Amino acid sequence: MNFVVIGGDAAGMSAASRAKRKQSEMKVIVLEKSQDVSYSACGMPYNIADPGRDIEELVVRRADVFREKQGIDLLTGHLVESILPAEQQVVGTTAEGTPFSFPYDKLLIASGASSVKPNVPGIDLPGVMALKSLADGRRIKQFIKENQTRRVVVVGMGYIALEMSEAFRALGLEVSMLKPNPNLLPWLERSCAEVVQEELTSCSVELMFGQSLKAVEAYEGGLRAVCNDTTIETDMVLVAMGVQPSSGIARAAGLELSVGDSIAVNKNLQTSDDHIYAAGDCADAVHVVTGAKAWVPLALRANRAGWAVADNVCGKEKELPGIVGTAVFKVFDLEVARTGLNMQEAADAGFEPAGVTIKTRSKAHAHPGNTTICVHMVGDVASGRLLGVQMVGKEGVAHRINAPAVALHTQMTVEAFGESDLAYAPPFGPTWDPLLTAANQLIKKL
C-alpha cells in the first residue's frame, strides 16, 4: 500500500510514524513544502524571548531520523499543488522547480493552517513578519539580532499576539498592539478580560483599540504602520490576526469543506472521498457540547488525529471523540484558560445559558502568597448541564481547567460537578476549590 501524507508536522508525522510502526512493509511517503518537520510551534514565542537559545532546540525529531530509523520516505522541499482523486495521485513542484507526482492508495491531507494577513500596501516589506512556521521564528529572531530593533507594532490581540508581546517586552522592546474592535479577547467574560488588560498595561504594552492596519510604509529610519487615524513609526510589524485552514488543494480537488473553510471529515477522519483523510489544523471536528461541527486548531487534537488516521489506514477502525475547545495561554504573570462554551456561544447553540463570575483565593486563606483567581462558569437552565468554564489568575489556572474539560466530555450537570471530590491542601487552594465555589453559585441560578 502507498500511504501518502501531505504535511510534515504534528498530524502528518504522527500518522506516518504510527502507520510505519504498525505495518513496516507499508510504503509511507511524506511531502513537506518546507525544510522543517516535527517541531514545537507553540514554543516559539518563549524561544524568541531568549536570545541565548537556539531556535533549533524546538525540533522534536529531525528529518533524517524519520528516514533512517523509521524508514519513512520523507521528502522536504516538496510542495503539493493539486490532488487528482480520479487518478489517486498528487502532483507538485520541488523547491528547485522540478515537477513530481506520486500515486496513493490512501492519502492524508495534514496541510495545517496559514497566517491571516491583511491585503494592504507594504504587507510584504522587509520587517513585516508573521509567526506560524519555524522558518518564521528564525526570521524574527534573526531580524531582531541583526537590526537595531527597538519598537514593534503587533497587529491583532489573540493568543499568539499576546504571547509575542510578552516575548518582545522580555527583549526590552517597546510594543504597541492594534485591534479594530473595542474589546480585548471578546470570547472572555468582561471582568476576566479586564484582568488581562490590566496586566498588559502594567507591563507597558500599549493597547490601541479601534485601529486597523491600512498600510505599511518604508522610510529611512524603518517602517511606518498607517492606521485609521494615526501613524506609528516602528522597526518591525508582527501580523498576528489569527490563522485559517490551509484547505485550498482540498477545495480544488472537490472535497467537501466545513466550518471556516476547514476540510470536512467524519469520525474516522475520512473526507468526502473514502481514499482521502484530513487531520490537524486543516480539518474540522465535532464539538462535544453542541454536537455541531467546529474548527479549533490546537496541538493535542492534531497529534491524536494523526494516530487515528494511521489506525484506520492500517485496517483498525478508529473513531475519534470530539473536542470541547480546551485552551490555555500565558500573558506575562497571568494564566488564561477556557473550555466549552461562553454565554453567547451557548445561546447561539440553542441552550438557555446562565452564568456566574466569582473571584476567590488561589490558596487557603492563611497561607502566604495568595493571589486572585477569576472563574466564569456557564450552565444550561433547561437541563442543568455544565456548558463551559473560563479562568484567569496568576497561579492554579492552567491545570485546574482540565477538571471542567473532563466534565464536559462526560456531559455532567453543574450540580454533579459541584459534588466532585477535588483535591485540597493549603498551598494549592482553599478548602472549597474555586471551581466548586463557582458551581455552587451557578446552581442557585439554575
Residues annotated catalytic, as ranges: 42
Burial per residue of 386-415, b for 16 or more beta-carbon CB atoms within 10 angstroms, e otherwise: bbbbbbbbbbbbeebbebbbebbbeebbbb
Packed helices 10-22 and 299-313: angle between N→C axes, nearest 10 degrees: 30
Instruction: Give the count of beta carbons closer than 10 Å to the beta carbon of residue 149.
Output: 20
- Residue 322 cell numbers, joined: 470530539
Contact 401, 338 (CB under 8 A): yes
Q: Compute, in degrees rounded to 10, the torsion defined by CA atoms 244, 249, 253, 254.
A: 10
- DSSP per residue, 40-105: -GGGHHHHHT-TTS-GGGGBSS-HHHHHHTT--EEEESEEEEEEETTTTEEEEEETTS-EEEEE-S
- Residue 155 cell numbers, joined: 497587529
Strands 89-94 and 78-84: antiparallel
State how far Cα 20 lies from the chain centre: 27
